[in-house]
């Protein structure tokens, strides 16, 4: 019976974290590259671990992309987004071993940088042209800067101070 309860609990947590990430994604969709999806996926990794957190990453990006007000992404771009989301989950799981603000700073920076690099490269490869390259280079740098700085602040100001409360929920 205990195993059944654990499976139910895991399923409920996966659904809750997916719904939270999706809702926060839509809530801030009007603010370019300021988002709470990455932070939510990081927290998912902290609480559920990377194995169950991967489900949240995949569900989040499939649902968010399917109903995205800007349209459904190219499948290769969606795969790149899911890979970036999984990296956030894994970093969240690793944060349980490294309890210091430097790790949270580095996580906010590196997870976002990796996500931006792989999605921008994929976007360029999907829509190849000289104009696209220039647009991705110029636009990508400015959007990435905003994205990275905002996520560093979210990770340091919000997640790091709440880490002990968040870890109490770890299953």
The better pLDDT of the pair 42, 128 is held by: 42
- Residue 99 and residue 164: Cα distance in Å, rounded? 9
Residues whose CB is less than 8 angstroms from the CB of residue 54 and which lie 6 or more positions away in sequence, other chains included: 86, 89
- Token couple for 162: 């709440």
The pLDDT, as a whole number, for residue 167 is 79
| CATH code of 90's domain | 1.10.1760.20
Q: Please, are residues 117 and 84 in contact by the beta-carbon 8 Å criterion?
A: no
The pLDDT, as a whole number, for residue 129 is 72
**Residue 166, pLDDT above cutoff 80:** yes
The pLDDT, as a whole number, for residue 121 is 85
What is the domain range of residue 146?
A: 2-167
Quick: pLDDT tens for 20-72: 999 999 999 999 899 999 999 999 999 999 999 999 999 999 999 989 888 88
Q: Mean pLDDT lowest for which of 40-49, 56-65, 120-129, 140-149?
A: 120-129
pTM above 0.85, yes or no: yes
Number of domains composing the chain: 1
């Amino acid at each position: 019976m205990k195993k059944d309860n654990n499976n139910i609990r895991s399923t409920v947590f996966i659904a809750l974290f997916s719904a939270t990430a999706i809702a926060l994604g839509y809530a801030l969709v009007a603010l370019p590259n300021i988002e709470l999806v990455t932070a939510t996926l990081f927290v998912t990794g902290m609480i559920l671990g990377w194995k169950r957190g991967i489900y949240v990453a995949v569900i989040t990006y499939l649902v968010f992309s399917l109903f995205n007000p800007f349209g459904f992404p190219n499948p290769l771009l969606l795969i790149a987004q899911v890979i970036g989301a999984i990296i956030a989950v894994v970093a969240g799981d690793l944060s349980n071993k490294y309890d210091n603000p430097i790790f949270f700073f580095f996580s906010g920076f590196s997870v976002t940088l990796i996500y931006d690099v792989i999605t921008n490269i994929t976007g360029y490869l999907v829509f190849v042209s000289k104009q696209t390259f220039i647009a991705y280079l110029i636009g990508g740098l400015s959007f990435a800067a905003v994205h990275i700085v905002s996520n560093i602040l979210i990770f340091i100001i919000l997640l790091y101070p709440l880490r002990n409360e968040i870890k109490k929920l770890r299953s």
